[in-house]
Amino acid sequence: MNGPENLIAVPVNTAPLPTVQNHTRHPSQYYQMLDVSGQVFHVIVSRLTYTLRRVDGHSRPLLAETQTPLVATDEFYGEANASSVIQESDFAPYKPKCDILFTHATAHAPGGQPAPRWPVEVRIGDWAKRFTVTGPRYAEPTRDHGWRITEPEPALQVPIRYEQAFGGTCQWPLRTEPDQPPELLAREEHNPVGCGYVDEAWLAKSRVADIDVPQIEVPDRPFDEGAIKAQSYPVIGLGAIGRWWLPRRLKAGTYDDDWKQTRWPHLPLDFDFGYWNAAPEDQQIDYPQGGEPVVLIHVHPTPEVRFNLPKPDLKMLLHLDAGVPLFKLMNIDTLIFDMQTLQLIVVQRGLVAARAGVDRIELGTWDIAAARAANANLLNPPP
């Protein structure tokens, strides 16, 4: 026997592997992917780690002494797919937008004094997101089939996670054996790990005395009894949303019998590469160029933190089968603000069509203008 048995033959073409050289200390990886039409493209992903504790003369974070490794698998705060995502794998094939993501984020009360409610704001360049957080509170059903929501308790800190946002899952019985499906299972599919969502059939069976309600609110629109009755309220957070949550999963395309018969193992024709953007849609921006001002309000013990995005100069040098070597910039498609380690993670990704005929790819921090000037002098030497 010269290999494992019962393997499924997969009719997927690949491209010749180029030689890859990384002249930097940033963790990087090469791999190949397919687009919807089945064309192969080369991918290079690099992860750059900056410290938010030190900035240069332009108020830009400095590179951290230790560069964090690429993330190979999705990471969660608790149970996989049943808790908020810390960060997803870096090995996405392509992100059409840049994700703005915060991990281990906490809202800090103004002045270090407990407060029942306060605003939070983050800004990067022209983009901004604002919301309100509250202390813990709960809602209890009333005899007239309504709800009474308590006033929020004063708090010093509020975790900014989807567990504190509107959503949730209602299951009955509350606990089941691993191989026994629940009698009733209802979810808020935009955020199944949140709170405040109540299924009427579940409520009748469980007869709970009270439920937790969201601590993350739309400014000037507190979560109230009407939101519980309507079972409708915005899901607000700063982290990645689940791969199977709405509306993200709708971008994954249609995997039906027709796909099995005519497309497998290729992507469905209605696949949207925006699926690979993990941030909420209101946290997806055009690729930043570096230098954009950042303002963080009440997400750090210091009430307001200001700095500028770094200007990563990492780029690819492509050696084609024919022609002069070409420089290609790598897009910044992920910004992760780790508020626990006070680090900024910048993920850059470069794509090249395999049909371009790439023999070698180098990663470096060359000065393109200087290189072009040098090439011009070689082609047209001064007299």
Identify which of 99, 102, 151 has the alpha carbon closest to the alpha carbon of residue 275. Answer: 99
10 Å Cβ neighbour count for 128?
A: 12
By CB atoms closer than 10 A (0-12, 13-18, 19+), residue 151 is exposed
- Please check whether residue 239 is in contact with residue 193, taking contact to mean a CB–CB distance below 8 angstroms: no
Asked if the peptide bond before residue 265 counts as cis, ω within 30 degrees of 0, the response is yes
d(CA 69, CA 91): 12
Do 48 and 309 contact (CB within 8 A), yes or no? no
Say what the pLDDT of residue 8 is. 63
User: What is the reported pLDDT for 64?
Assistant: 97
Indicate the helix (H) or strand (E) that contains 311: none
- Cβ-based neighbour number of residue 126 at 10 Å: 9
* pLDDT grade for 379, boundaries at 50, 70 and 90: low
Cβ 237 vs Cβ 160: under 8 Å: yes
For residue 278, the one-letter residue type is A
Is the Cβ–Cβ distance between 188 and 168 less than 8 Å? yes
Segments making up each domain of the chain, as ranges: 11-105+246-287+310-383, 109-237
Q: What is the mean pLDDT of the chain?
A: 92
- What distance in Å separates the CA atoms of residue 302 and residue 111, rounded to the nearest whole number? 9
Q: What is the pLDDT of residues 252-283, one digit of tens each?
A: 999 999 999 999 999 999 999 999 999 999 99
Copy the structure tokens of residue 361.
Answer: 């790819």
* All residues at 6 or more sequence positions from 365 whose CB lies less than 8 Å from its CB, including other chains: 23, 24, 313, 314, 315
Query: Alpha-carbon distance 226 to 110, whole Å?
Result: 29
Residue 240 confidence (pLDDT): 98
pLDDT of residue 323: 75
The stretch 57-66 carries a mean pLDDT of 97
Query: How many residues are listed for the chain in this entry?
Result: 383
Give per-residue pLDDT as tens, 117-153. 999 999 999 999 999 999 999 999 888 888 999 999 9
Q: Could you count the other beta carbons within 10 Å of the beta carbon of residue 222? A: 15
| Three-class SS of 352-369 | EEHHHCEEEEEEECCCHH
Euclidean distance between CA atoms 199 and 228, whole angstroms: 10
- Provide the pLDDT for residue 180: 79
Instruction: Please tell me the predicted confidence (pLDDT) of residue 143.
Output: 84
Q: How confident is the model at residue 382, as a pLDDT? A: 62
Candidates 184, 178, 142, 134; CA nearest to 160 is 134
Residue 91 CA, distance from chain mean position: 12
pLDDT reading at 378 higher than 60: no
Helix (H) / strand (E) containing 165: none
Does position 107 have pLDDT exceeding 60, yes or no? yes
Q: CA angle at residue 137 from 197 to 241, to 5 degrees?
A: 45
Q: What are phi and psi of 155, to 5 degrees?
A: -140, 150
pLDDT in tens, 218-241: 999 999 999 999 999 999 999 999
Of 359, 362, 302, 344, the C-alpha closest to 18 is 359
| Number of other CB atoms surrounding residue 120 within 10 Å | 23
Please, which pLDDT band fits residue 1 given cuts at 50, 70 and 90? very low
Full-prediction pTM beyond 0.95? Answer: no
Q: Which tens digit of pLDDT belongs to each residue from 147-184? A: 999 999 999 999 999 999 999 999 988 776 677 788 89
> In this predicted structure, what is the pLDDT of residue 48?
98
- Minimum mean pLDDT among 8-22, 23-37, 65-79, 187-201: which range? 8-22
Mean pLDDT of 83-93: 97
pLDDT digits (tens, 9 = 90+) for 299-340: 999 999 999 999 988 999 999 987 778 999 999 999 999 999
Distance from C-alpha of 372 to C-alpha of 128, rounded to nearest angstrom: 38
Pick left, alpha or beta for residue 313 (phi over 0 → left; psi -120 to 50 → alpha; otherwise beta).
alpha
CA distance 306 to 283: 19
